[in-house]
Chains A and B, each alone.
Chain A
Amino acid sequence: MTAACAATRDPQAVPATAAAPLLAVEGLGKWYGPRLGCRDVSFTLHPGEVLGVVGESGSGKTTLLGCLSGGLTPTTGRVAYHSEAWGPADVHALPEGRRRLLMRTEWGFVRQNPRDGLRLGVSAGANIGERPMAVGARHYGHIRARALDWLSRVEIDPARLDDRPASFSGGMQQRLQIARVLVNGPRLVFMDEPTGGLDVSVQARLLDLLRDLVARLGLSAVIVTHDLAVARLLAHRLMVMKDGRVVEEGLTDQVLDDPHHPYTQLLVSSVLQA
């Protein structure tokens, strides 16, 4: 399933150790006091692989994503990331400066509500340019050209470069957020319900775009969604969560076409009935 990767990736981003997993998660658990967020989550993610995490709201998906990306501190377990720059690293043992740097170089986070992931007070160009500038880009013309290129890659009219995203539609805002996150060529992207809150027709277009970008850039990704259609289209592998635990995992087609756990069966059948 990693066959599609690497071909179109940034040439300088040669994977240091192609065989080593990008992300290795062991026994991850998070409690909010006596209340469980998630527990006993273990998996590995290899370069170019897309993992879907599905389940209804409250099943612990978003907590898991928070723990993986370093935003939340887990109660148990560890998350190991193989960094291009620094080699293997325990995500939660990294100093905050390093984690922030990861978030604007090797990682990306696409939020469900694009308003949480964008600066609404500055132009689309500034939004896309922020990450390059944060890591030292200092040539206005180059930054602007890069922003223009990315606008067209996410199918936004280049004439909107200097407009503020507040005037964009929801679908455009989400595509802008994706451009903002992908501009620095991250290796690993976390997505929290990237199509949530959008109209069905808009969702379809965004999904096409995402699938195309993920394949072309050879991205690795962890995508949290309650929408099995999103999972089927984007994910190579699936983890099904219920009440904070992983109840089933496997290749996407396998899990969706032949669900073993009763909860997964319920999920799949409810989608089919709908």
Chain B
Amino acid sequence: MSADAITFGYLDDQTKRMIRRALLKAVAIPGYQVPFAGREMPLPYGWGTGGIQVTASIIGRDDVLKVIDQGADDTTNAVSIRRFFRRVTGVAATEKTAEATLIQTRHRIPETPLTTGQILIYQVPIPEPLRSMEPRETETRKMHALADYGVMHVKLYEDIARHGRIATAYDYPVRVNGRHVMAPSPIPKFDNPKMHNAPFLQLFGAGREKRLYAIPPYTSVVSLDFEDHPFEVQRWDRVCDLCGAGDSYLDEVVTDDTGGRLFVCSDSEYCTTRRDAGHRGPAADSTAAGALGATLSAVARDRTEDRA
């Protein structure tokens, strides 16, 4: 099958219309999971088919697309999805968060604040936040309909009783617009506050589970907690070893087999931009950091040439 034989965005117009209708409904009822007739995509379920279908349904020829996985543009699955869209749409791709009109993401929200007009599209593996307490969908849909959410706090209570703190580190449940409890997808809870009253549109696609949901701009998104155990995000007592950022989510990179570690920004674009602007982290001059930085630059160069 040649690339020419594929329609723009892979999906036919009927399918796109069906998905856009579902998205409109999702925007109208923030946090509510809208069932949609998901299609089989040429990438496997669990690898972003929900996000891909959302992106494919709303992308236009003038859009500029950024794809990240674990915060980075250069992870294999992000590369694969970006390639897919270049192949089926030919639209411009970017790594610059600020330049992108559409950002498809798995597991992170970029560190650079998004602004009005940008759309963040999340890939969602399990859209149902109640599932761990109640596996039956017939029951969970009823619980959502009745806003019957007591069990969510049972789970948090149990965390504190067992561990002395809420032991949910990612996919931390939120209440959207004061109504629906929603799974933010497996982003670290570090990113949860970025969803609240955000100026940009957030769309969520779960392909295998065939559900879409959304957070319109300027919608309240509150992480569930207790008065005496308020929600808090991860903090590091260190900064990024490469760029020195103290406000970003850090990935731990094992540098040798004797306990050597570097902590670097998970958002590779944020880190690169900071380093280009002259920011230096505490280990910026180490051999390990040099090698890591060189690899990142080489990958970025390859991709620039690929685009050229």
The short answer to whether A and B are in direct contact, CB under 8 Å, is yes
**Interface, chain A (partner B; CB < 8 A):** 96-97, 100, 104, 119, 122-123, 125-126, 129-131, 133-135, 138-141, 143-144, 161-162
A143 to B153, CA, bound (A): 11
Q: Of B145, B146, B149, B161, which one neighbours A123 at CB under 8 angstroms?
A: B161
> What's the interface size class on B, roughly?
20 to 34
- B118-162 interface with A by 8 A CB criterion: 142, 145-146, 148-151, 153-155, 157-158, 160-162
Q: Of A100, A133, A141, which one neighbours B153 at CB under 8 angstroms?
A: A133
Query: Which of B92-100, B184-192, B226-234, B235-243 is the interface stretch?
Result: B226-234
CB distance from A156 to the nearest CB of B (A): 15
**19 additional contacts, CB 8 Å, given A123-B162, A129-B153, A131-B150?**
A96-B142, A97-B145, A97-B146, A119-B154, A122-B155, A126-B154, A129-B157, A130-B154, A133-B154, A134-B150, A134-B153, A139-B228, A140-B157, A140-B226, A140-B228, A140-B229, A143-B226, A162-B161, A162-B162
What 10 A-B pairs are tightest by C-beta distance, nearest first?
A134-B150, A133-B153, A140-B226, A97-B146, A139-B227, A122-B158, A126-B158, A162-B161, A126-B157, A141-B228
- Residues of B contacting A100 in the complex (Cβ-Cβ under 8 angstroms): 146, 148
- B207-244 interface with A by 8 A CB criterion: 225-229
- Residues of A contacting B150 in the complex (Cβ-Cβ under 8 angstroms): 104, 130-131, 133-135
CB distance from A232 to the nearest CB of B (A): 37
Query: In this complex, what residue of B is CB-closest to A134?
Result: B150
- Residues of A contacting B148 in the complex (Cβ-Cβ under 8 angstroms): 97, 100, 134
Query: In this complex, what residue of B is CB-closest to A122?
Result: B158
Residue of B142, B153, B225 ringed by the most chain A CB atoms within 10 A:
B153
CB distance from A138 to the nearest CB of B (A): 5
Residue of B149, B154, B225, B228 ringed by the most chain A CB atoms within 10 A:
B154
- Residues of B contacting A138 in the complex (Cβ-Cβ under 8 angstroms): 153, 225-227
Query: In this complex, what residue of A is CB-closest to B156?
Result: A140
Q: Is the CB of B146 within 8 A of A96?
A: yes
A123 to B158, CA, bound (A): 7
CB distance from B228 to the nearest CB of A (A): 5
CB distance from A57 to the nearest CB of B (A): 29
- Residues of B contacting A135 in the complex (Cβ-Cβ under 8 angstroms): 150
A125 to B162, CA, bound (A): 11
- B156-211 interface with A by 8 A CB criterion: 157-158, 160-162
5 A-B interface contacts by CB (under 8 A): A122-B155, A129-B154, A133-B157, A134-B148, A140-B226
